Amino acid sequence: MTVHAGSLTHILPPPPIETLRRPALFLDMDGVLAPLAPHPDDVVPVARRTAVLKQLIQRLDGRVAIVSGRTLAEIDRISDGAAQAASGVHGLERRGADGVSVRDEADPAVKQAVAAFNAFAAERPGVVVEDKGVAAGLHYRRAPDQGGAAQALASEIADRTGLVLQPGSMVLELKTPGTDKGTAVTAFMDQPPFKGAFPIMVGDDLTDEHGFAAATALGGFGVLVGPPRETAARYGLADVDAVLDWLEAVAASVSETPA
């Protein structure tokens, strides 16, 4: 796997397994634990994913959190409730390993964004709007030709309201300011059972770069899933299947490693 930065080509090797000591795993959902789908609702629970998460959480003494742009409710639906620790909507929702949840107050402008997105989608078949309360998502995977117009609309709203424009894979999100996946990772790492562990963020798109940077700053590393690009991640995996294979290997290795 290669990443091109200017004239340089960087090789991203697969992440280690046997050498990990007391890892804490922070896992994105779409594109990492689950394949990308044309519609957000098309992503459903899968037995293998659920089993891998449950095994990891048991073997790592709870040091596994899903860190996603989806809401906590969606994370729970797709993971079949396997993960207690989770962060949703790019850090705006967070639930600790103890089950205690915190949620930022929504910026009033989010309602304006939802209304504008709904008006946009009403005239463009295939465009899907997602109202997350603290953020508004505009999905155009089913209408890729609308990407330019969607970007222009989202940028205009962001400039006018102060909402944060968070681009993803064929989706644009306008969110309440103040958090990102990096702040979520940092917050988890300040609480048990993550405190003092070795942080690893696994993600696939630009929203995960904050998580990669936070994990690195805390002494760990990031793992980029999918096609090569410029990234703060140190390692790479090809796709969702490769991620699940690696997670299974980590669980097996940790279970055989003396405390």
CATH code where residue 27 lies: 3.40.50.1000
Is a pLDDT exceeding 70 seen at residue 179?
yes
Q: Please work out, in degrees rounded to the nearest 5, the angle formed at the alpha carbon of residue 138 by the alpha carbons of 64 and 186.
A: 30
Distances in Å between the Cα of 235 and the Cα atoms of 90, 221, 225 are 22, 8, 9
Is a pLDDT exceeding 70 seen at residue 258?
no
In a domain, 99, yes or no: yes
89 and 189 housed in the same domain: yes
- Cα dihedral 13, 19, 23, 26, rounded to 10, equals 10
63 and 27 housed in the same domain: yes
Distances in Å between the Cα of 77 and the Cα atoms of 50, 66, 80, 201, 242 are 11, 12, 5, 21, 22
Tell me whether residue 208 is one of the annotated catalytic residues: no
Q: What is the DSSP letter of 28?
A: -
Per-residue pLDDT tens over the stretch 133-163: 999 999 999 999 999 999 999 999 999 999 9
Residue 167 sits in a domain whose CATH number is 3.30.70.1020
In a domain, 9, yes or no: no
In a domain, 5, yes or no: no
Domain end marker among 117, 140, 175: 175
Domain end marker among 126, 148, 175: 175
82 and 120 housed in the same domain: no
200 and 93 housed in the same domain: yes
Is a pLDDT exceeding 60 seen at residue 9?
no
Q: If residue 138 lies in a helix (H) or strand (E), which one and from where to where?
A: strand 135-139
In a domain, 124, yes or no: yes
7 pLDDT tier (thresholds 50, 70, 90): very low
19 and 81 housed in the same domain: yes
Per-residue pLDDT tens over the stretch 213-224: 999 999 999 999
Strand-pair partners of 167: 172
Per-residue pLDDT tens over the stretch 54-88: 999 999 999 999 999 999 999 999 999 999 999 99
161 and 185 housed in the same domain: no
pLDDT of residue 2: 35
**Number of domains the chain contains:** 2
In a domain, 8, yes or no: no
Domain end marker among 155, 175, 195: 175
- 28, 107, 180, 204: which is the annotated catalytic residue? 28
Per-residue pLDDT tens over the stretch 227-244: 999 999 999 999 999 999
pLDDT of residue 252: 94
In a domain, 244, yes or no: yes
Which residue range is the domain that position 120 belongs to? 109-175
pTM exceeds cut of 0.85: yes
In a domain, 95, yes or no: yes
